[in-house]
Amino acid sequence: MIACGVAAPASPLGASPSVQAAPSPGATGVAAPGCTVGVAWFDYRAEQWVKWDEPAIKAALDAGGAGYIASDAKASAEAQRSDIASLASEGAQVVIITSPGSDAALRSDVAEAQRSGLGIVAYEAQADLPGVVRVAFDNVATGRAQAAALLRIAAPATLAIIKGAQGDPAADQLRQGYTDAGIPPLGAPAAAVRVVAEVSTPDWDPLAAQREMQQVLAGGKGVTAVLAENDALAGGVAAALLGTSDSGVIVAGAGADLDGLRRVAAGTQAVDTWADPRRLGAAAGAAALKLCRDRGRLPAASSSPLPGAVTTDASVLLEPTIVTRTSLKAVIDAGWVQKSDLCRGVPAVFGTACG
C-alpha cells in the first residue's frame, strides 16, 4: 500500500533490504512505564496466538515497562465487545483488538472502546479506522514481493494468475501488488511477461484451483509460470501440473504453510512468502507503547516503531519475507517449521535444507 520504507538489516531469507525477518521483540526504543495494555483475543484457542503472537507482544511491552492483561472471546463478537470494556475496567489504557475478520464488527467494537477513552491497536485488520493504529501484514506488499520474486526466476514468462475469491478485498489487494511489480492486465502486451489466464477461485478452494489450472493447460496457452494468491491455491496448481508435460511450470504461492514450504523444498513450488507473526506481535506491542506514551496522538509518519515496517499516521504495515529453496534453512532455524516435518518424503538435494 505504501511505497516507502525504513531501512533495516538485510533479511537472511533473501527479502528486500527494508524487511527484517525476525526482529528482536521489544527493541523499539519506546518506554511507557506504568501503562497497562490489554489484548482482546477474538479466539485464543488458535495455536499461533500462544506460540508466536502473544510472546512477541509481551516481550515488546516488557521492554517498554508496560503491563499486560488479556481476554479471550472464544470466537464470539459479542463476548469480545464485553471483554474490551472489562479490560478497561481492569486498568488498560490501550487495547489491542484481534479482528474477527468482519470490518463491521471491528468498527462497532472500536467506536465503543473509543467512547471510553481507550487507545486502540487493530491487529491484522485490513480496514482503515478513524483514530486507530492498524497493524497488519500488507497484502499489496505481499503480492508485489511474490510477483517480483517470480519474475526474477521466470521472466520472460507466459503467466497464469490463480486468484482468490471474487470480491474478496484480499484477492484484489494481492492483484494490485502484482500490478505494482509489473504484471500487466490479462492479454496486455509486455516485454517481460504476458498474462494469458486470470481466474478467481470460489472460496479459495484448492480443488477448484486444480480444476481451473487443468482448464488453462487444456487451452494450450503455453503457460510457463503461475502466480497463486496463497499456498492452498498453489497446491491445487501443483496437483494439476503433476505428471503432465507441464510439470516444469514455475509456481509461486504465499503464506508459508507447511505444505507450501514442503513443495518449495521438493522443487515443485519456486516461491513462497512468510508473514512472521512474531514481527506482527512486536509491531503491535511497539504501537501500543507509543499510544501509551503519546496519549491522544497517533505515531508520527516520520518514525516507525520497528525496523522493516512502513508507518503512516494510522498504520504499521509489514512486508512479508520471500522464501525460496535456497533460503529454507533460515525458516527452520527460526523455528517456524521443523526440519523433520519439512523434509519428510522430500528428496535430498545438496545445498538445500533437505540436503
Q: pLDDT of 282-335, one tens digit each?
A: 999 999 999 998 864 444 333 334 444 444 457 889 999 999 998 999 899 999
Cell of 2: 505504501
- 158 close to 121: Cβ distance less than 8 angstroms: no
* Per-residue confidence (pLDDT) for residue 352, from 0 to 100: 82
Give the angle 199-204-192 at the CA atoms, nearest 5°. 40
pTM above 0.85, yes or no: no
**In 55-151, where do the E strands start and end?**
67-72, 94-98, 119-123, 133-137
- The ranges assigned to domains in the chain are 36-138+276-320, 140-274+323-339
Amino acid code (one letter) for 115: R
Confidence at residue 17, expressed as pLDDT on a 0 to 100 scale: 25
Please state the rounded mean pLDDT for residues 186-205.
93
Contact 80, 74 (CB under 8 A): no
Distance separating alpha carbons of residues 57 and 25, to the nearest angstrom: 7
Question: Is there a shared CATH topology between the 36-138+276-320 domain and the 140-274+323-339 domain?
Answer: yes
Assess if CATH 3.40.50.2300 describes domain 36-138+276-320: yes
Nearest to 124 by CA among 113, 139, 112, 114: 139
3-state secondary structure at position 21: coil
Q: Which CATH architecture has domain 140-274+323-339?
A: 3-Layer(aba) Sandwich (3.40)
Residue 3 has pLDDT above 60, yes or no: no
pLDDT value at residue 301: 34
